Structure 1
Amino acid sequence: MKTNRRCRALLAVSLNLMALLFSTTAFITTHWCEGTQRVPKPSCGKEKKTNCLNYSGNETANETNQNVVHYSWETGDDRFLFRYFHTGIWYSCEENINAAGEKCRSFIDLAPASEKGVLWLSVVSEVLYIMLLVVGFSLMCLELFHSSSVIDGLKLNAFAAVFTVLSGLLGMVAHMMYSQVFQATVNLGPEDWRPHSWDYGWSFCLAWGSFTCCMAASVTTLNSYTKTVIEFRHKRKIFEQGFREEQNFLDQEAIKYFRERSVQTVSRSVEAFMDFASLRKSRHVGKVSEILGEDAC
C-alpha cells in the first residue's frame, strides 16, 4: 500500500509541476492569439523596393514635387499588406513592414475601456492561479519527501488537493475572461490594430494544457487521499472484527475454564463433605458402642 500511495503522490507532483511550467510560460509569452492585419502598402523609395506602391513617373521628380498627383495601378487587396501579429496578456507585437524585427505595444492600452476591468481581473486570476499552483506543489512535495506519519501525509494531501482545485477554477476563469476581452478588442479596438484574420496560438494551448494538468493533479491527489482513507477503514474493520472474534474465543475459553474449575471445586467440596460425614458417623457409632458396653457391664 505504501508503494502504491507513493506512486500516486509522485504522479500528482509531476502533473502539478507540468501545470506550473505551462501556466508560467503562457503568462510571460505573447502568442495567446495570432493572425494577420491588413495595412496599406507604403510608397516605394530608395530604401523600400518591395511590398510597396510603385507610382508611375520619375521617382526623383515625385520626391521633389509634392503637388504632383501620383497614380497606382494596384487595386483591391493588392494595395494592402497582410502583416503577422501575435498577442499575449501584456503585449501585442506586430511585424514591422518598414524595417526588420517587430514592434510591440501594451495590450492593456489596446483593450476597450469597457473591457479593461475584465482584463485586469483576468490578470489577477492568472497570478493567483500560478501562486496556488506553487502552494499545491510545495504541499505535495512536503507530503512526498518529508511526511513522517501517514496521518500527517493525509492532512497535507487534503490541503494540496483543495489548493489545486481552487487554482484550476481560477485558471479556467482567467482564460475565459481573456478570450472575451480579446474578441471585444477585435471588434472595438483601434483601427490600425484590428486583425484581418486571427486564431488562438500556442500560448493559449499551453494555458489550457496547464489547466488540464492541474485538474488531473487534483483528481489524482483526491483519489490518493480517498483510497488511503478507504484502505485504513477497511483494515480497521478487519482488525476490529478479528479482535471481537479473538475476544469471544477468549471469553468462551475463560467460561469453559471457570466452569471446569467450578465443577472440580464442587466435586471436591462434595467429596470432602462426604468424607467428613462418614468420619463423623464412624466416630458416633464408636461412641455408641462404648456406651452400650459400659451398660452391659
Structure 2
Amino acid sequence: MDSAAVLAQHLYTALATGDGPALDALLAPDFRGVLADGMPFGIGGEHDGPDAMRRNGWGAIGRHFAAHAEPERFLPLADGRLLVTGRYTGTGRHGGTPLDAGFAHLITVTDGRIRALEQYTDTARWTDAAAPTPESASDSAAPFTTLTLDVADGIATVRLDRPDQHNAIDVAMARDLSELATRLAEDPSVRVVLLLGNGPMLTAGGDVRLRGADTRARKRLRGADTRARKRLRGTDTRARKRLRGALHHPHPRRRRRHRHRPPRPSRPAQRHRRRDGPRPVRTGHPAGRGPVGAGGAAARQRADAHRGR
C-alpha cells in the first residue's frame, strides 16, 4: 500500500472515531471537499477549508446520520490521485430506512497531506434514510422528564431536574441526555451550552440505586451515556459548564485558617575547637575495627604514648 493509500486509511479511521487532532494533521490548510449534489439537508456542494468541511460536510452528516464509510479498494490513478471505493452503512437519526449506499472518493495528496476529496454516492438512498417515520417524529417532540432545555440567542440552557435525588443520573436521565445531545447537534443556531442543576448541586453522579439493579438496566445506562458523548463530540458546538454549588458537597467548604507561627530563632554558629596535636585513638577497637583483643593492647600503647608527649 503506497503512502497516499495509507493517508486515506488514516482519514477513514479518524472520521469513524471522531479524532479531531488526527484530522487536523491529515488535511492540508487549503483542503477542498466536494460532496455529491442531491445529498439531503443541503450537505452537498463545495466546502473550502478543513474547518468548513468538518463543520458543514462531515459534521452535518454526523448530525443527521449515524453512519460511517467502509473503504474496500484503494486504486492509484495515472494522474496521481487515489480512487477509493466502498460503502456507507448506518441509519438516519430521524428514523427512516437503514443506510447502505456505495461510494467512490477521489483523493488528492500533496506533500504528505490530503489536499482534496470528491464524493460520488447514491444520494437517493441517503434521502430515504433521512426521512423520519411517524414514530420517530412523535418521539422527538416528546418533552424531557428529568431535565429542561431552553434555547435563546444561540445559548442552550440545560438544567438537570432531580433535586430530591441530588440530580443523580439514572436510566431515564441518561436517555434524556442522549436525546438532548441529538437535538443540540441538529440545531445549527446553538453556539454555547450551559449545563446547570436544580437544587444544591450539579449532580451526585450515577444513581447508587442502580448498583443493585439487574445487568440490563446498567447496560442501558452505559449505552445511553456513550451515545450522548459520541453525538456531542460530533458537533462543533462549544460546550461550557457552570457549576451551581459544589459537585459532591452541597455546602461550601470553609477555608482553613492557618495558625500564625513565629519564626524560629536562628541558632548561633558553632565554633570548631582546634585541637593541639592529633586526635587520640579510641581504646575500645583496634584502628576502629573488630573486638577488643590483641590489637587493643597496641591501641592502649599508642594512646599512652600520645598522652606522654
* Fold match (TM-score > 0.5): no
Bigger RCO of structures 1 and 2 (CA < 8 A, at least 6 apart): 1
TM-score by length of 1: 0.22
Larger strand proportion of the pair: 2
TM-score by length of 2: 0.22
